[in-house]
Amino acid sequence: MALLHAKDCDTLRRALVTFSNYAAFTANQDSLREAGGIVRLQHLVMHSDNRVKLASIKAVGNMALNTSNQREMEVSFSSYICKGS
């Protein structure tokens, strides 16, 4: 999770790819949510680097496969996206 706070875009993108791969498995999705992964992804989908945005959107897609994550995303992402529009 610490690498999701990296300043370097390449490091951040690689961390997001790893996060996304890890999030592809149901057993890992709860752990990632509990570690604050959804909150961090919420900010990364608005990143200035398009490669980071794309990697974070893929991670969001994998995390959204879990119904508990969907409930948290509905609250956190809806308010954040409304601010961006």
Q: Is residue 27 part of a domain?
A: yes
Tokens of 18: 């790893």
Domain assignment of residue 47, yes or no: yes
Residue 81 — very low, low, confident or very high, per pLDDT cuts 50/70/90? low
Domain count along the chain: 1
47: three-class secondary structure by DSSP:
coil
CA 51 to chain centre: 13
CA distance 25 to 47: 25
Length of the chain: 85
Task: Give burial (CB, 10 Å; 0-12/13-18/19+) of 8.
Answer: exposed
Q: What is the pTM of this model?
A: 0.84
Q: Torsion-angle region of residue 66: left (phi > 0), alpha (psi -120 to 50) or beta? A: beta
Residue 77 lies in a domain: yes
pLDDT in tens, 22-73: 999 988 999 999 999 999 999 999 999 999 999 999 999 999 998 889 988 8
Q: 60 lies in which domain range?
A: 9-84
For residue 4, being part of any structural domain is answered with no
**Residues 56 and 9: beta-carbon distance below 8 Å:** no
